[in-house]
Amino acid sequence: MIRSKFFTVILIALAFLIFRNEKVIADCPQDYQSGTIQATYRYNIGKFIFTCDVTIYYCCKWDNDLKTLVFQVDTLSSTYNNCLPYITNKSLFMDWVHNTVALNATGPCNPLWPPCDDSIKYYIEVNSFVCKFYENRNISNIPGDPAFRLFLIKCQGSVKCVSKWEKCIDYSQSPPMEISNLIDKYITGVPGCIDDEPQVPPQGKSWDEFWTTECFVIPCEY
């Protein structure tokens, strides 16, 4: 009887963990597929080094005409706490996001990469909208038991940071090794959002309620 009650408690706890968090999916354009990466970013505040566990939600598609795997960074969230606002150099952070996606994203869009000595070249393009806003979102599915998490979300627009890579497989290595070389980085236009990152939470708001901020610019890292 005691063992039966114990397993019942465990099952209830597991069900609570499953249903408390909603599944966040990137808002992808038509013909794109969604994916996620979890990675740890290290940053400095003064002499101290901190870490921020980040979930990157992205969209991807394979452009066969251009032989290019295109990634669009959609949304970012701090996986376990609200550490994103404490990262002061957001340009460097977004450069890390681009690198992380280019070097670590696997499926659902990846092609069969060619050998490095092949005459055909395949490429990766990672782009992210320069203007973004914060949203403090309830990720709980249980009525009356909210759980808020901070997200950094793209603003609608056309200006993007773009990084381009050439990728191939070096079969002279054992085992064969993926080789990715950065070949270009640029911005596509002039941002139309405010320069200063907004205060979070906004005045009169708390971490335990829904709110959003204005769109603000995160300059591209060259």
154 φ, ψ (degrees, to nearest 5): -70, 140
Q: What is the pLDDT of residues 157-204, one digit of tens each?
A: 889 999 999 999 999 999 999 999 999 999 999 998 999 999 999 999
Chain centroid offset of residue 69 CA: 17
Closest CA to 98 of 169, 168, 187: 187
Mean pLDDT, rounded, for 53-78: 95
pLDDT band at 25 (very low <50, low <70, confident <90, very high): low
User: Tokens representing 14?
Assistant: 């597991």
* Cβ neighbours of residue 208 closer than 8 Å, sequence gap 6 or more: 146, 148
Mean pLDDT, rounded, for 16-25: 47
- Residue type at position 175: P
* Whole-structure pTM value: 0.84
